[in-house]
């Protein structure tokens, strides 16, 4: 299973009685990865190494569930060939008009400058965030939207703004307790059609 280098992963889940937030940024000594597993029935995308990030306190803010991950453009250009070949044709019906993510990354966060909206994909069959905290829990969503656009990475890390491919998940989560989990991770289940459609959009956006 290929493991592709991400630049940044952030996961936030808030409820009345608890909150979970973790980020793993390559410029803060994190090592965020996207693991791709193609099976006979679907394609699994796993966001790994969430536990290496810097925890954030987000209590007291309105509910703001999100899972976002970013590829640095030039890194994705060199690693794109590591994605396994699709097993299905693309399905243009799974592409919806894009929406803008311009504004703030968090209510109190830095500005996000969108460079190029690409599209939304639907449906992601399932999204599961498994959290190794006390107590351990999972947040599960069905039929999620996956947003894709190109944004800027902040100059404070790189000396100048860089371009990043941003994936953001829009979903309604149900939270369940777990008996235990090894490491915190987020997992997306894609149909072969959706996986093929996403790769096709990335291919043309990277040209």
**pLDDT, tens digit (0-9, with 9 covering 90-100), for 106-149:** 433 454 566 788 999 999 999 999 988 777 888 999 999 999 99
CA dist., res. 91 & res. 87, Å (int) = 12
* SS3 of the chain: helix, strand, coil, percent, to 5: 20, 45, 35
Question: What pLDDT does residue 137 have?
Answer: 85
54-82 mean pLDDT: 79
Please provide the average confidence, as pLDDT, over all residues in the chain: 86
**Cβ burial, residue 159 (10 Å; 0-12/13-18/19+):** exposed
Domain holding 93, by residue range, is 3-205
pTM: 0.88
Question: What pLDDT does residue 63 have?
Answer: 58
- Split into its structural domains, the chain has a count of 1
Residues contacting 71, CB < 8 A, separation 6+: 4, 5, 6, 7, 164, 165
Q: Which residue has the higher pLDDT, 99 or 193?
A: 193
CA dist., res. 41 & res. 201, Å (int) = 22
Q: Which residue has the tokens 């100059």?
A: 155
């Amino acid at each position: 299973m290929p493991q592709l280098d991400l630049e940044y992963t952030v996961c936030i889940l808030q409820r009345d009685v608890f909150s979970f937030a973790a980020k793993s940024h390559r410029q803060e000594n994190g090592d965020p990865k996207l693991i791709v597993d193609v099976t006979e029935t679907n394609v699994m995308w796993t966001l790994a190494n969430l536990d290496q990030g810097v925890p954030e306190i987000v209590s007291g803010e309105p509910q703001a569930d999100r899972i976002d991950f970013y590829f640095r453009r030039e890194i994705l250009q060199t690693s794109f060939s590591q994605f396994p070949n699709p097993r299905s044709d693309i399905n243009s019906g799974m592409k919806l008009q894009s929406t803008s993510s311009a504004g703030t990354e968090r209510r109190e966060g830095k500005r996000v400058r969108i460079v190029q909206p690409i599209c939304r994909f639907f449906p992601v069959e399932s999204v599961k965030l498994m959290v190794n905290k006390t107590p351990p829990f999972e947040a599960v969503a069905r039929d999620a939207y996956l947003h894709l656009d190109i944004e800027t990475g902040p100059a404070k890390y790189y000396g100048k703004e860089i371009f990043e491919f941003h994936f953001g998940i829009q979903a309604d989560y149900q939270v369940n307790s777990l008996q235990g989990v090894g490491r915190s991770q987020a997992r997306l289940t894609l149909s072969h059609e959706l996986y093929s459609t996403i790769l096709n959009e990335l291919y043309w956006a990277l040209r």
